[in-house]
Amino acid sequence: MTLCLVAASRTHQGLVRRRNEDSHSQGQWLYVVADGLGGHVAGDVASSTVVAAVQAYDRAVDPEDLADFLGRAINDASDELRRKVRENPDLAGMGTTFVALLHSGGHAIAANVGDSRAYLVRRHGSRDNALVQISEDHTYEHLVADAEEVPHLSGRLARFLDGRADGRSADLRPLQLQPGDRVLLCSDGLSSYVPHEQIRAALDSDDNPGSIADQLVGMAIDQGGHDNVTVIVIDVTRAALRNPTNDE
């Protein structure tokens, strides 16, 4: 069975931030969202640098090579951040989160560093499908054992891309895509402010990816637009078989 991915992406500065420090890329094989760290220098430079670096990896890959290929893309992006800081020391301290999906037919790899998220809804004609977060937030509260018993534990990021190699590796998760699946990649400008159930309801609708992406960004703005927000909505469908007798 041949699968086809149809996607739509949207980004918005929000109503509070002075600039949009999110960057994203919607390619043929690779989809990426990066959220430059607010409160650090040049968050927009960090996110755009990472996205530009990985765009070279928007290529067809054998399914068994997906994890290695995406891992190399992230390493190259980190190297590019390090190179930029070396050339311009004023950029030292910049960083970004990262979430991506690379696919080859029905096989895919999701990757993330930080708290930009990947979600999956399996939609196969039924309603009230579960919204599953397929990435893990790299914050201290999610990475420390028995975190609920640790007083005043920071919710800050414990891992992000900043050009350093110590503990900045990405999580890689293999996925077997099915017709009817819908994947969301987003910055925390969505997930930190829009309730989980509202995100699920939007993704579980019959609307197309572009309409859903507009709805999700609108929800973030309705919640006050406290942060930049970026979303990529990806639908997995059966590829239409071309009729050889009907040339277009």
Quick: pLDDT tens for 61-99: 999 999 999 999 999 999 999 999 999 999 998 999 999
Residue 203: which region, alpha, beta or left (left: phi > 0; alpha: psi -120 to 50)? alpha
Q: What pLDDT does 146 receive?
A: 47
Contact of 148 with 81, CB cutoff 8 Å: no
pLDDT of residue 150: 44
As assigned by CATH, the class of the 3-238 domain is: alpha beta
Q: How many other C-beta atoms can be found within 10 angstroms of the C-beta atom of residue 209? A: 23
Structure letter (DSSP) for residue 63: G
pLDDT per position as a tens digit, 197-212: 999 999 999 999 999 9
User: Are residues 182 and 234 in contact, defined by beta-carbon separation less than 8 angstroms?
Assistant: yes
CA torsion sign for 205, 28, 138, 16 is negative
Indicate the domain borders of the chain: 3-238
The pLDDT of residue 127 is 56
Rg of the chain (C-alpha set): 18
**Quick one: pLDDT at residue 69?**
98
Cβ 151 vs Cβ 90: under 8 Å: no
Residues of the chain with pLDDT under 70: 1, 39, 125-128, 140-155, 167, 241-248
pLDDT at residue number 118: 98
Neighbours of 101 (CB within 10 A): 28
pTM for this prediction: 0.90
Find out whether 102 and 66 touch, Cβ atoms under 8 Å: yes
